[in-house]
Structure 1
């Protein structure tokens, strides 16, 4: 293997662990900052695959088809805004820096880089803490906690709305820190948090005092009482120790929400707490109490402390039965084959975002959302699932007919894709007809 290729692979791999130097990650402008997260996607996939045999050899729980779908589907949903809009977080940060910057720090200074490292992580700590202690922000962040499994795929389970309220916590940095430095560290802070979503690593010795580790983050994802509202750090754990929100891993962690979801529908996962808040808002008496439903903690109710009472949290211990609905192997393989195609479809839309018309981008986003909803309905055993999947396959064929060029359709990949969707349409059309005939016979008997 070529030496430069090996060095390139190792360089991108160590970026996942924030193992970089100021010299190699400092840039004068935002435009020159590499897309570190995009470059890490192949390593995300490789590590997710590598984790499975390690979990098996260690006797740990393996990723489930349905839960992994939920994580990946919510991850895709969280990216769709990028096909239609610019980054709210970065755009706002640049505006504040250009209008309110009070200290001109040099972008190529090691001290500026260190300030960026610590400052972004401190900002993340408060974004994350408010994501648990402010109900409106929890409505977004709860998506990430909705998995009852804990593995590298869980790291991909993200909110579509949390970023629209989290940007304000980083704005104080814009008073002094160049946007390029902020962009570098916000990416690395996110990358670092991928690998800590695993049960394959126990503890890291003395590093546990300084860094956020898999052990610390397992506690954060737990619904045992000792885990609630603990360990908010991104890269560092020192702010949790400073502000009294640290907890060490003790008994086996039970993962997920205090009130677990009973659905694999990613759309439901994104909006379920907003629906709950709206109901609570309508039923709560008094204007101030109604506002408190939004700004106080998810466990708050009139007469209770701001973040609720710990006594209201069920005192649970492992093992706990997980929500699970099984599908035949062929449907799981079908869903994951089409999920792979959907990821490729998203990648094409993202790559040609600047060249696509808004109508093409919007059509692509709607199709992706409809697809994920359809697969969620299959995993939830919804009565509409077969019909929805039939319609989805038919709509895809219409999209190909309306938007694809003749050369693309007649190519080998194009013909193979059309054949796959024609076969998929035929399968689900047959299933629909069979279900209807069974219902007719049941009514007539």
Structure 2
């Protein structure tokens, strides 16, 4: 994807709110469509920090950026890494259908085509999102986004690695007549719009509440209160929920997260834990019909009540605020360390995205694995898992070896590589000591797990 340009703050704000025109966002070829998501990545971080400052200054909410917020951002980066070695599944499937089976070819530079794509992508997202909650196999990916017990801008970034491999089906009808370049523009802006609505700092927006998906509407969607379940699937326009009977108004204080919280910050459990649960349920459930129901019916379906496709609402636990949230507190140096690794990983990912065409597929694949491994070990460290320090020590040592090899192949070595080498030698030593402390029972970085209510009274 080409077309990467520098953007300013005002342009970034317009991108987040879908405040763009057909003229400035219409392109003839897919290759010309900018990677809008990559362009606004710095603004994601800036907005998260700004929200944190406002909450701290006003005392309205304690944002847990040191752990839960970090995990949300790391899962967002995790979901982008597979794009290093494979084209987006949504786009690849869409282009194949369009190139081979399109019924008509609408002009790419027409405002009518642009608006058809706007509404088409949005209703496609509504039905994908709805079935992601109503079908267990789709929920296995989408539950990642709902796994945080907090609700703030960082929560918007908590995304699934697998979701894009299922969502593409719901956009196929557009591929029979909407050019891929137009589709690619709107699939990005539909995603970007949903970032800013993940906040508690914005109340209701008056008449706009009848048309647009707003923070108030989306807070309901993220709730695990019984009145919140299976409500407000909208992407940009809330009109679809009003039309199809899934709209819910914000009422009592929303309690966020999964109906059955996972109580962990480990990446493998967050991303793949529900698949493991489904496999166990599939093996223990008798009968082919029931096994198919485990896969394709709702997450709440049970063999005891087979006619209730989405499960029995009476089985939902009663939840009212305030609640206790999963929270493991770590020393400040650990929190700072994982953020250092996050920004290094983010920078490497950005560089790989720009330079991957000049690299072999195996090199990119190995780099992607290393980045994933970095995010995995950071989660294990924050979750105070015994294997976390050991794996981090090995990862840092591996980085040193890889970096030394890269330096040996270059005629002119960038200063940053020397700086990183020094840092990672020190990091290796630190985690070697921590690993030794675990073996001897003197783990100095581990702190007691506490459960906290993040709402400020």
Q: Same fold (TM over 0.5)?
A: yes
1:20, distance to aligned residue in structure 2 (A): 1.2
Using the alignment, how far apart are the partners of 2:7 and 2:396 within structure 1? 43
1:408, distance to aligned residue in structure 2 (A): 8.0
Using the alignment, how far apart are the partners of 2:36 and 2:6 within structure 1? 18
1:10, distance to aligned residue in structure 2 (A): 2.0
Preserved contact between residue 102 and residue 175 of structure 1 (Cα < 8 Å): yes
Preserved contact between residue 213 and residue 237 of structure 2 (Cα < 8 Å): yes
Alignment of 1:185-224 (within 5 A): 185-224=186-225
Alignment of 1:175-324 (within 5 A): 175-302=176-303, 303-304=305-306, 305-324=308-327
Using the alignment, how far apart are the partners of 2:368 and 2:441 within structure 1? 35
Using the alignment, how far apart are the partners of 1:289 and 1:408 within structure 2? 63
1:234, distance to aligned residue in structure 2 (A): 0.2
In the other structure, the counterpart of 1:54 is 54
Preserved contact between residue 88 and residue 164 of structure 2 (Cα < 8 Å): no
1:434 equivalenced with 2:437 (yes/no):
yes
1:390 equivalenced with 2:393 (yes/no):
yes
Preserved contact between residue 133 and residue 296 of structure 1 (Cα < 8 Å): yes
Using the alignment, how far apart are the partners of 2:39 and 2:379 within structure 1? 29
How many residues align? The count is 435
SS of residue matched to 2:335: helix
Preserved contact between residue 408 and residue 414 of structure 1 (Cα < 8 Å): no
SS of residue matched to 1:354: helix
Unaligned runs of 5+ in 1: 440-445
TM-score by length of 1: 0.94
1:97, distance to aligned residue in structure 2 (A): 1.3
In the other structure, the counterpart of 1:148 is 149
1:431, distance to aligned residue in structure 2 (A): 2.1
RMSD across aligned C-alpha pairs, in angstroms?
1.8
In the other structure, the counterpart of 2:446 is none
1:409, distance to aligned residue in structure 2 (A): 8.6
- Decide whether aligned partners of structure 1 residues 409 and 200 sit closer, same or farther in structure 2, where only a CA change above 3 A counts: farther
In the other structure, the counterpart of 1:442 is none
In the other structure, the counterpart of 1:32 is 32
Preserved contact between residue 189 and residue 235 of structure 1 (Cα < 8 Å): yes
- Decide whether aligned partners of structure 1 residues 373 and 12 sit closer, same or farther in structure 2, where only a CA change above 3 A counts: closer
Using the alignment, how far apart are the partners of 1:410 and 1:112 within structure 2? 49
In the other structure, the counterpart of 2:379 is 376
Unaligned runs of 5+ in 2: 443-457
- Decide whether aligned partners of structure 1 residues 418 and 209 sit closer, same or farther in structure 2, where only a CA change above 3 A counts: same
1:168 equivalenced with 2:177 (yes/no):
no
The answer to which structure has the higher helix fraction is 1
1:72, distance to aligned residue in structure 2 (A): 1.5
Using the alignment, how far apart are the partners of 1:248 and 1:201 within structure 2? 15
- Decide whether aligned partners of structure 1 residues 266 and 225 sit closer, same or farther in structure 2, where only a CA change above 3 A counts: same
1:34-68 CA-to-partner distances (Å, cap 9, x unmatched) read: 22111111221221121112222343323211101
**1:414 aligned to which of 403, 414, 417:** 417
1:14 equivalenced with 2:22 (yes/no):
no
Using the alignment, how far apart are the partners of 2:57 and 2:174 within structure 1? 45
In the other structure, the counterpart of 1:129 is 130
Using the alignment, how far apart are the partners of 2:84 and 2:281 within structure 1? 33
